[in-house]
Amino acid sequence: MAEVALLANISVNLQKILKNKITVLSVLAFVVALSCVFAFAGNTAEPEIQEISSTESIADEVETSPEIFAGYGIYVDGYFVAATHTSEQANNVVAASLANRVASFGIDASLNNSFNNSVEIIFGDYSSETYVEDIASLMGESVFNYSGEQLPVNLSVTSVSTYSENVVLDYETKTVYTDSMKDGTTKVVQEGFNGEGIQTYEITSLNGVEISRNPLCLEVTTQAVEEIVRVGTSADGMTTASLANFVRPYNPEDGLVISSYFGYRWGTNHNGLDICRNGGCFKDAVVAASAGVVINAKDSRNGYGNCVIIDHGDGITTLYAHLNQCLVEPGDIVEAGEEIGLIGNTGYSFGPHLHFEVRIDNVPVNPLMFVDYE
């Protein structure tokens, strides 16, 4: 029916063309075109239909394409372990892993513990598959990454602690050579005693095993006392007679006063001379009566106050008491007339003065046997 209608339509159009006196050439062209239309009618190829994937295949393809998120990656010795979404989570993971390793080695958790490895938290873009819920479980005796692959690293723990112990401080021995004693003879003029102290160490351990111990500080509780030994170098040596002319330990230009002499006084023995000066002698200079080695220079705490004792060899010592200040130290070698202290009023004293003693084998003798104060 459609073809009949089409022919009728062509006929009407042909009549219109003829009426309008169209040339024969135009009619022929129209007929040829019409013939081509009929020639290809019904032979048009159907379009190719492509096969479309099922809904399940599309979903699978989406699921296997990981997304990228900004987060914080955890690295051990440069190897990537896994990622977290926040820095707080990453820090908590590292802390939990460290606590687990500390416990596994039996280390005191209160110590200064840290990983011996390089453990870093780095911000960046990480695939969704690298975000793991329990990362701390991956960082144990062996270290694994997010995919379960074992990494070539071992997590070790360094611990730092302090330790203190009582120690003995050995005394030192000082040898003084002198021609005031015969050659080859020796005398201990000050006995040495060991001291005591508390030594504190910094101890570094690896996985609970000590690897180093470094001294930090030493608290001295009892000071060691130096031993002083005199060694004679003289062929003749010093004798008591050779010491008969000591110099005056205190010799002001004027106003010299001997306020108390050697002997019985106030119901007891007075073992030396008390020397002062009219007009006051506070902080006047005191000198060594003879050459020797200082064996004491401190507060004697037995009534003498600040006191200097000098050993002159051959069992002879001199003592200078109640000083305001000692100007020498034990072990110092002094010459006759050398300043050793300043007159004071320390210890059992009623006013500034110098208490001066001479002793032979630690027995007090009259200083006027050696010093000319007449």
Q: What is the pLDDT of residue 237?
A: 52
Q: What is the pLDDT of residue 38?
A: 45
CA distance 349 to 261: 15
Q: Is the pTM of this model over 0.85?
A: no
Closest CA to 123 of 90, 92, 145, 79: 90
Q: What is the pLDDT of residue 72?
A: 97
HSE at residue 161, side-chain half, CA atoms within 13 A, is 16
Q: What is the pLDDT of residue 177?
A: 76
Burial track 52-86 (b if 16+ CB lie within 10 A, e otherwise): eeeeeeeeeeeeeeeeeeebbbbebeeebbbbbee
CA distance 292 to 289: 9
> Could you state, in chain order, the average pLDDT of each consecutive group of 10 residues for the chain (374 residues)?
50 50 46 46 48 48 73 96 96 95 94 95 96 92 94 95 95 79 75 93 96 95 86 63 72 92 84 93 95 90 92 88 96 93 94 94 87 82
Q: What is the pLDDT of residue 32?
A: 45
